[in-house]
């Protein structure tokens, strides 16, 4: 069998195999080349819900441009708060407006329904995902954020309230104050003062020496 025939057979086999692996589906996870959905729930009611109270369609955008309205932030969602009824079914459309990876994670959900108490959407770049979840009847505020390193710290954090929630979470941009305010105190020891004075003298002396040499 010559090389051309081997390549032809391999190409045909790959044509059959690729659709099978284009979308990988595990027990609680659906993943393809553009992103991942974990613990989606369209019909399983929480134990404290007799029926779905309302269907809520929410579009959540993520990206750098949404952080421009917050001083010192680099990433953000386009909204920082949503409020739904107890036992609501929330149909989320998650849109990534950046070319880098972003996540939308909701924490604190009941573990018997959402493994590790988490609902998770992830896009590896610009794109869109849709998935649903059903919240319990408990009056509660859930954390919504991106768990990639420094994304939440740099602004990609929000809150989902059920029945008005049980208070605001800390550090939600535009809504609540940070856990710890940015503070960069200087230890004004003798050594620190000496270094500052030395730097000031050097800043004055260097231009004078340069001007003298050029004149």
For 155-188, give one letter per residue: b (16+ CB within 10 A) or e.
bbbbbbbbbebeeebebbbeebeeeeeeeeeeee
Q: Is residue 19 very low, low, confident or very high in pLDDT (cuts 50, 70, 90)?
A: very low
Q: Hey, where are the domains in the chain?
A: 29-162
pLDDT, residue 16, reads 46
The predicted-structure confidence for 103-152, as pLDDT tens digits, reads as follows 999 999 999 999 999 999 999 999 999 999 999 999 999 999 999 999 99
Cα-Cα-Cα-Cα torsion 23, 24, 27, 29, nearest 10 degrees, comes to: -70
Dihedral sign for Cα 106, 109, 113, 117, please.
Answer: positive
Beta bridge mates, 60: 94
Question: pLDDT digit string (tens) for 56-103?
Answer: 999 999 999 999 999 999 999 999 999 999 999 999 999 999 999 999
Q: What is the CATH number that goes with domain 29-162? A: 2.60.40.420
């Amino acid at each position: 069998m010559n090389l051309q025939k081997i390549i032809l057979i391999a190409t045909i086999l790959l044509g059959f195999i690729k659709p099978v692996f284009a979308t990988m589906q595990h027990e609680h996870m659906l993943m393809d080349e553009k992103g991942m959905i974990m613990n989606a729930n369209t019909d399983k009611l929480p134990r404290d819900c007799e029926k779905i109270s309302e269907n809520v369609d929410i579009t959540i955008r993520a990206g750098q441009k949404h952080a421009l309205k917050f001083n010192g932030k680099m990433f953000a969602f386009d909204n920082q708060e949503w409020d739904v009824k107890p036992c609501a079914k929330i149909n989320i459309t998650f849109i990534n407006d950046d070319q880098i990876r972003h996540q939308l994670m909701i924490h604190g959900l009941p573990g018997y329904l959402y493994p590790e108490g988490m609902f998770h959407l992830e896009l590896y770049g610009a794109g869109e995902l849709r998935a649903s979840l059903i919240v319990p009847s408990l009056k509660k505020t859930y954390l919504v954020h991106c768990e990639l390193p420094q994304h939440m710290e740099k602004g990609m954090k929000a809150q989902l309230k059920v029945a008005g929630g049980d208070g605001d979470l800390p550090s939600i941009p535009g809504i609540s104050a940070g856990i710890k305010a940015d503070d960069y105190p200087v230890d004004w020891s003798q050594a620190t003062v000496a270094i500052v004075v030395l730097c000031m003298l050097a800043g004055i002396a260097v231009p004078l020496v340069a001007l003298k040499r050029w004149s």
